[in-house]
Amino acid sequence: MASKSGKSASLRLRSRIRLEADADGEGGMLFDTQTAMICACNSSAWTVVSAMRKGNDADKLTGLITEAYDVNQTTARRDVLSLIKELRTLDILEPD
Amino acid sequence: MKTPATRVAITGLAGLDNPEPGLATARALRAHWSGPLAIEGLVYDPWATGGWTPGIADRLHLIAPIAHGDAAALNRILAIHQEHPIDALIPCLDLEVPVYSRLAGRLAREGIQTLLASAEDIAAITKVSLHGFCYSHDILTPHTVHVRDLSAVAVHADHFGYPLWIKGTVAGAKKVFNREQALFEAESLAARWGGGVLLQEAVEGSEHVVAMVARANGSCLSMAMMRKIGLNARGKGVIGSTVDDPGLRRLALEILEKLHWRGPLELEFVRSHGSGRFYLLEVNCRFPSWIFLTEFAKANLPAALLREILAPGTRAPRPAQVGVMYARDIQEISVPAASITRLKRSGSAAVPTRTPIRRHRGDIVVGVTGISAFELTQPGLGTVRCLRAAPEVGRTIGLAYTPNDTGIFRRDLFDVCCRIPIDATPDNASAGDERMLERLLAIRKKHGMDVVIPSLDLEIDRFHRIAPELQGAGVRTLLPTPAARRKLSKIGLSRLSGQGALGVLEFPETIAVRNRRDLALAHKRFGTPMILKGVDARAARVYSLEQAEVVWSRFKEDGETTILAQPVVFGEEFGVGLVCDRSGRLIDSVPLKKLVMCERGKTWSAMATPLPMVVDQLAELMAKVGWHGPADVELIRDSTTERMSLIEINPRFPAWIGYAEMIDRNLPRQLVLAALDRPPALPAIDGHRHQDFVFMRTAEEVPASAVSMATLINRGEIGYGKD
In this prediction, residues B42-57 reach a mean pLDDT of 96
What is the structure's pLDDT at A28? 87
CATH number of B509-568: 3.30.1490.20
CB pairs under 8 A between A and B: 60
DSSP B3-23: PPPEEEEE-----TTS--THH
A chain contacts of residue B321, beta-carbon cutoff 8 Å: none
In this prediction, residues B223-239 reach a mean pLDDT of 92
**Average pLDDT for chain B:** 93
Tell me how many domains chain A contains: 1
Q: How far apart are CA B18 and CA B604, in angstroms?
A: 12
Cis? peptide before B680, omega within 30° of 0? no
- Among A46-55, B321-330, B446-455, which is the least confidently predicted range? A46-55
- Give A47→chain B minimum CA distance, Å: 14
Residue scoring higher pLDDT (B60 or B689) = B60
Instruction: Return the CATH number of B143-201, one of 3.30.450.20, 3.30.1490.20, 3.40.50.12780, 3.40.50.1000.
Output: 3.30.1490.20
What is the structure's pLDDT at B704? 95
CA dihedral in degrees (B390, B395, B397, B398; nearest 10)? Answer: 50
- Residue A21 maps to a domain: yes
Global pTM value: 0.92
B chain contacts of residue A24, beta-carbon cutoff 8 Å: 715
- Whether B323 and A36 lie within 8 Å, measured CB to CB: yes
What phi, psi does B501 have (nearest 5°)?
Answer: -95, 5
A chain contacts of residue B713, beta-carbon cutoff 8 Å: 40
At CB < 8 A and 24+ separation, what contacts does B521-526 make? Answer: B522/B548, B522/B565, B523/B548, B523/B565, B525/B567, B526/B565, B526/B566, B526/B567, B526/B568
Cis? peptide before B651, omega within 30° of 0? no
- Give B231→chain A minimum CA distance, Å: 14
A27: closest chain B residue by CA: B714
Which of B122, B113, B132 is closest to B95 using CA atoms? B122
Best of A15, A19, A35, A90 to mutate (most B CBs within 10 Å, chain B): A35
Please return the burial class of B359, using the count of CB atoms within 10 Å of its CB with bins 0-12, 13-18 and 19+.
Answer: exposed
At CB < 8 A and 24+ separation, what contacts does B182-191 make? Answer: B182/B153, B182/B154, B182/B157, B183/B150, B183/B153, B183/B154, B183/B157, B183/B546, B183/B550, B184/B546, B184/B547, B184/B550, B184/B551, B186/B147, B186/B150, B186/B153, B187/B150, B187/B547, B190/B150
User: Beta B59-62 vs B37-43: how paired, if at all?
Assistant: parallel
What phi, psi does A18 have (nearest 5°)?
Answer: -105, 140
Q: Is the pLDDT of residue A54 over 90?
A: no
What is the structure's pLDDT at B48? 96
In this prediction, residues B43-52 reach a mean pLDDT of 96
> What burial letters (b/e) apply to B44-73, b meaning 16+ CB within 10 Å?
bebbbbbbbbeebbbbbbbbbeeeeeeeeb
Which of B282, B324, B306 is closest to B133 using CA atoms? B282
Q: Is the pLDDT of residue B358 over 80?
A: no
Q: Is the pLDDT of residue A34 over 70?
A: yes
**B585 and B544 Cβ atoms separated by less than 8 Å:** no
Q: In this prediction, what percent of chain B has a pLDDT beyond 70?
A: 97
Cα separations (Å) of B457 from A52, B2, B16, B332?
A: 46, 56, 23, 22
* pLDDT band, residue B713 (cuts 50/70/90): confident
A36 closest CB neighbour out of B229, B710, B715:
B229
> What burial letters (b/e) apply to B217-253, b meaning 16+ CB within 10 Å?
eeebbbbbbbbbbbbbeeebbbbbbbbbbeebbebbe
- Whether B714 and A18 lie within 8 Å, measured CB to CB: no
What is the structure's pLDDT at A9? 66
In this prediction, residues B245-256 reach a mean pLDDT of 97
In this prediction, residues B299-305 reach a mean pLDDT of 97
- Among A33-37, B400-404, B523-527, B690-694, which is the least confidently predicted range? B690-694
- Give A37→chain B minimum CA distance, Å: 8
What is the structure's pLDDT at B120? 95
B chain contacts of residue A28, beta-carbon cutoff 8 Å: 707, 710, 714
Please return the burial class of B16, using the count of CB atoms within 10 Å of its CB with bins 0-12, 13-18 and 19+.
Answer: buried
What is the structure's pLDDT at B537? 73
The H-or-E segment that residue B667 falls in is: helix B667-675
In this prediction, residues B85-99 reach a mean pLDDT of 97
Q: Is the pLDDT of residue A95 over 80?
A: yes
What is the structure's pLDDT at B323? 93
- Residue A43 maps to a domain: yes
What is the structure's pLDDT at B423? 78
* pLDDT band, residue B35 (cuts 50/70/90): very high
CATH number of B364-486+572-718: 3.30.470.20
Q: Is the pLDDT of residue B191 over 50?
A: yes
In this prediction, residues B297-319 reach a mean pLDDT of 95
A34 closest CB neighbour out of B240, B243, B713:
B243
Other Cβ atoms less than 10 A from the Cβ of B193: the count is 17
B205: closest chain A residue by CA: A35
Answer whether A91 touches B (CB < 8 Å). Answer: no
What letter represents residue B590's amino acid?
Answer: V
What is the structure's pLDDT at A8? 55
What is the structure's pLDDT at B161? 92
Q: How far apart are CA B148 and CA B168, in angstroms?
A: 11
B713 closest CB neighbour out of A16, A23, A40:
A40
The residue ranges of every structural domain in chain B are 6-114, 122-127+204-323, 143-201, 364-486+572-718, 509-568
In three state form, how does the secondary structure of B611-664 look?
A: CHHHHHHHHHHHHHHCCCEEEEEEEEEECCCCCEEEEEEECCCCCCCHHHHHCC
A chain contacts of residue B206, beta-carbon cutoff 8 Å: 35
- Give A5→chain B minimum CA distance, Å: 31
In this prediction, residues B653-664 reach a mean pLDDT of 95
Q: How far apart are CA B57 and CA B425, in angstroms?
A: 49
Best of B231, B243, B248, B272 to mutate (most A CBs within 10 Å, chain A): B243
Answer whether A34 touches B (CB < 8 Å). Answer: yes
- Give A38→chain B minimum CA distance, Å: 7
In this prediction, residues B123-136 reach a mean pLDDT of 95
Alpha carbon of residue B62 to chain centroid: 23
What is the structure's pLDDT at B685? 59
Length of chain B: 723
Express each pLDDT in B673-686 by its tens digit.
999 999 999 876 55
Chain B interface residues facing chain A, Cβ-Cβ under 8 Å?
206, 227, 229, 240-246, 322-323, 706-707, 709-711, 713-715, 719
Residue scoring higher pLDDT (B423 or B397) = B397
In this prediction, residues B1-6 reach a mean pLDDT of 82
What is the structure's pLDDT at B58? 97
In this prediction, residues B114-137 reach a mean pLDDT of 95
What is the structure's pLDDT at A4? 45
Other Cβ atoms less than 10 A from the Cβ of B324: the count is 23
- Whether A35 and B711 lie within 8 Å, measured CB to CB: no
Establish whether domains B6-114 and B143-201 are of one fold.
Answer: no
A17: closest chain B residue by CA: B323
- Give A17→chain B minimum CA distance, Å: 10
- Class of domain B122-127+204-323 as given by CATH: alpha beta
B209: closest chain A residue by CA: A35
What is the structure's pLDDT at B356? 66
- Give B54→chain A minimum CA distance, Å: 33
The H-or-E segment that residue B205 falls in is: strand B205-214
* pLDDT band, residue B633 (cuts 50/70/90): very high
In this prediction, residues A36-40 reach a mean pLDDT of 89
Answer whether A94 touches B (CB < 8 Å). Answer: no
Show the beta-strand stretches assigned E in B369-480. 393-400, 416-419, 451-453
Q: How far apart are CA B415 and CA B365, in angstroms?
A: 10
Q: Is the pLDDT of residue B313 over 80?
A: yes
B323 closest CB neighbour out of A27, A33, A41:
A33
Second-level CATH architecture of B6-114: 3-Layer(aba) Sandwich (3.40)
What is the structure's pLDDT at A3? 45
Q: How far apart are CA A84 and CA B639, in angstroms?
A: 66
Express each pLDDT in B206-229 by its tens digit.
999 999 999 999 999 999 999 999
Residue scoring higher pLDDT (B106 or A53) = B106
In this prediction, residues B555-580 reach a mean pLDDT of 92
What letter represents residue B54's amino acid?
Answer: P
Best of A14, A29, A47 to mutate (most B CBs within 10 Å, chain B): A29
